[in-house]
């Protein structure tokens, strides 16, 4: 099967071929015809399987074939983070290269006036983070009366990050007659409830079991004392001659500290998280992609939206508080059918997080040890009661996982939302 057999135009088929794609992935085989039919769609697939093209290609086809119904934007794509919004917008631009369709992307962390100016010139497809979109609407810079299609990309992540109120407000401003699409790696019960009130008799597509990891990603656990993690990571990078490694930490300050330690060990590294300006985040990511930086240290803001071709290694320096985030983190490697390696450095106080992850993915991850870094306490051992080194708040130290990417949100504080709280109303972020 090729893309033309799915009903796509010659221009879109040519654009996909320009990117080196000739055979659609399983999610694309099922989603593209469903979207082209005009029906609402709720689709779930493992990360890295081509979901973006699964909705972008048929969206562009429908815009080319159907007459405009009103003024302003015709299609609205909502994404949870700046990086994902930028990635989706880049895909829209690439696939529309032979078509007259115009597009734009808006998100926080950058000046709003250039975005206002571009919107006033008019665009067909707008990719946006919910917070910045609401800012633009309140300033009268965007109108929704011509929206024919609404797409929620990574809807579960938007719920986790506290965007549910903005999403409901945006939905209330849109024309009632429209096509609605939900694409995500996972669908929680809360997201399914949102879908019930938003989607009209949707086509449901699920090409893999929810919350499973890709078979082409080799996973392993390295038990190690917390105090030895950075030294072990440096040894693994040097001994294995890793040239491109994406490393996840739970906190912004932890990402900065680890970056500094790696640099002291002679390993080029950069950090990307919500306290960094958008310019700094973009430069760090570009340097990493171009090989000028060997290790990119990131908080969970980078778990969705980073599309790095043939990324060989992902390391969980600290396990995530929420098990589902493990799936999204390691989904940065093994993309588009390539093989990948994901390893986790796990200390004894993270045992409950590891157990939660293994319950979610329904498999026990193999343990490996490195000589000289054997842990003093096994992962299965119960930590002694009493204050922990991070102030007695548990492994996360009270880090606000949900807002790791707020980029200095003036409307939300950075107080800790720890692993015990994932109520979306407490996780407002302007991405």
Indicate the number of domains in the chain.
2
Residue 167 sits in the same domain as residue 238: no
How far, in Å, CA of 130 to CA of 173, rounded? 13
How far, in Å, CA of 289 to CA of 270, rounded? 12
What is the chain's mean pLDDT, rounded? 83
Residue 108 sits in the same domain as residue 191: yes
Structure tokens at 109: 């962390």
pTM here? Answer: 0.66
At residue 429, the pLDDT reads: 35
Q: What is the average pLDDT across 322-331?
A: 84
Q: What is the average pLDDT across 24-40?
A: 94
> Residue 414: inside a domain, yes or no?
no
Residue 272 sits in the same domain as residue 134: no
175: CATH: 3.40.50.300
Q: What is the average pLDDT across 308-312?
A: 78
How far, in Å, CA of 84 to CA of 79, rounded? 6
Lowest mean pLDDT among 6-10, 45-49, 126-130, 398-402: 398-402
Residue 196 sits in the same domain as residue 221: no
At residue 57, the pLDDT reads: 97
**84 has pLDDT over 90:** no
> Residue 419: inside a domain, yes or no?
no
Assess contact for 297 and 251: CB atoms under 8 A. no
CA separation, residue 14 to residues 27, 30, 63 (Å): 20, 20, 17
DSSP string spanning 182-230?
EEES---HHHHHHHHHH-SSPEEEESS-TTPPPTTEEEEEEE--GGGHH
Helix, strand, coil shares, percent, the chain, to 5:
40, 15, 45
pLDDT tens for 232-249 read 999 999 999 999 999 999
> Residue 428: inside a domain, yes or no?
no
- Strands laid side by side in the 149-153 sheet: 103-106, 125-128, 75-78, 149-153, 179-184, 41-44, 203-206
Residue 224 sits in the same domain as residue 367: yes
Q: What is the average pLDDT across 83-110?
A: 93
DSSP code, position 367: B
Work out the burial of residue 98: count CB atoms within 10 Å of its CB; fewer than 13 is exposed, 13-18 middle, 19 or more buried. middle
**257 has pLDDT over 90:** yes
**82 has pLDDT over 60:** yes
Residue 187 sits in the same domain as residue 230: no
> Residue 424: inside a domain, yes or no?
no
Domain end residue (candidates: 178, 206, 234): 206
Residue 180 sits in the same domain as residue 229: no
- How many residues are given for the chain? 431
> Residue 417: inside a domain, yes or no?
no
> Residue 343: inside a domain, yes or no?
yes
pLDDT tens for 133-180 read 999 999 999 999 999 999 999 887 788 778 888 999 999 999 999 999
> Residue 374: inside a domain, yes or no?
yes
133, containing H or E segment = helix 130-138
Residue 251 sits in the same domain as residue 290: yes
Q: What is the average pLDDT across 38-61?
A: 88
Residue 168 sits in the same domain as residue 266: no
Lowest mean pLDDT among 211-225, 308-322, 376-390, 407-421: 407-421
Residue 112 sits in the same domain as residue 260: no
Structure tokens at 7: 């009903």
249: nearest Cα among 418, 396, 391, 419 = 396
At residue 308, the pLDDT reads: 72
Q: Which domain holds residue 308?
A: 217-409
At residue 415, the pLDDT reads: 34
At residue 306, the pLDDT reads: 67
At residue 425, the pLDDT reads: 37
pLDDT tens for 352-395 read 999 999 998 889 999 999 999 999 988 864 444 444 334 333 33
At residue 2, the pLDDT reads: 86
Residue 167 sits in the same domain as residue 129: yes
Residue 87 sits in the same domain as residue 150: yes
> Residue 430: inside a domain, yes or no?
no
């Amino acid at each position: 099967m090729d893309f033309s057999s799915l009903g796509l135009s010659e221009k879109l088929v040519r654009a996909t071929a320009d990117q080196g794609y000739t055979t659609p992935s399983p999610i694309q085989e099922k989603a593209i015809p469903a979207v082209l039919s005009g029906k609402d769609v709720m689709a779930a697939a493992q990360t890295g399987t081509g979901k973006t093209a699964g909705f972008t290609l048929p969206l562009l086809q429908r815009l080319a074939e159907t007459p405009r119904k009103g003024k302003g934007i015709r299609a609205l794509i909502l994404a949870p983070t700046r990086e994902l919004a930028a990635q989706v917008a880049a895909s829209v631009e690439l696939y529309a290269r032979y078509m007259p369709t115009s597009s734009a992307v808006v998100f926080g962390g950058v000046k709003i006036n250039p975005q206002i100016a571009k919107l006033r010139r008019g665009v067909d497809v707008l990719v946006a983070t919910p917070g910045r979109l609401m800012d633009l609407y309140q300033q009268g810079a965007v109108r929704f009366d011509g929206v024919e299609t609404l797409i929620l990309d990574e809807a579960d992540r938007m719920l986790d990050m506290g965007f549910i109120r903005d999403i409901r407000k945006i939905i209330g401003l849109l024309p009632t007659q429209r096509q609605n699409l939900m694409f995500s790696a996972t669908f929680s019960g809360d997201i399914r409830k949102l879908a019930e009130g938003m989607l009209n008799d949707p086509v449901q597509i699920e090409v893999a079991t929810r919350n499973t990891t890709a078979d082409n990603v080799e996973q392993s656990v390295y038990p190690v004392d917390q105090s030895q993690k950075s030294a072990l990571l440096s040894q693994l990078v040097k001994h294995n001659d890793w040239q491109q490694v994406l490393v996840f930490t739970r906190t912004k300050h932890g990402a900065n500290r680890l970056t500094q330690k790696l640099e002291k060990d002679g390993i080029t590294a950069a950090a990307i998280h919500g306290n960094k300006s958008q310019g700094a985040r973009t430069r760090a990511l570009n340097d990493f992609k171009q090989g000028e930086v060997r290790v990119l240290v990131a908080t969970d803001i980078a778990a969705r939206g980073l599309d790095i071709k043939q990324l060989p290694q992902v390391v969980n320096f600290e396990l995530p508080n929420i098990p589902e985030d493990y799936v999204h983190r390691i989904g940065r490697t093994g993309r588009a059918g390539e093989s990948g390696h994901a390893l986790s450095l796990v200390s004894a106080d993270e045992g409950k997080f590891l157990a939660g992850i293994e319950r979610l993915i329904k498999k026990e991850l193999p343990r490996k040890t490195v000589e000289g870094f054997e842990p003093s306490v096994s992962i299965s051992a119960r930590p002694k009661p009493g204050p922990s080194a991070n102030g007695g708040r548990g492994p996360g130290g009270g880090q606000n996982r949900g807002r790791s990417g707020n980029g200095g949100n003036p409307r939300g504080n950075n107080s800790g939302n720890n692993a015990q709280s994932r109520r979306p109303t407490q996780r407002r972020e302007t991405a």
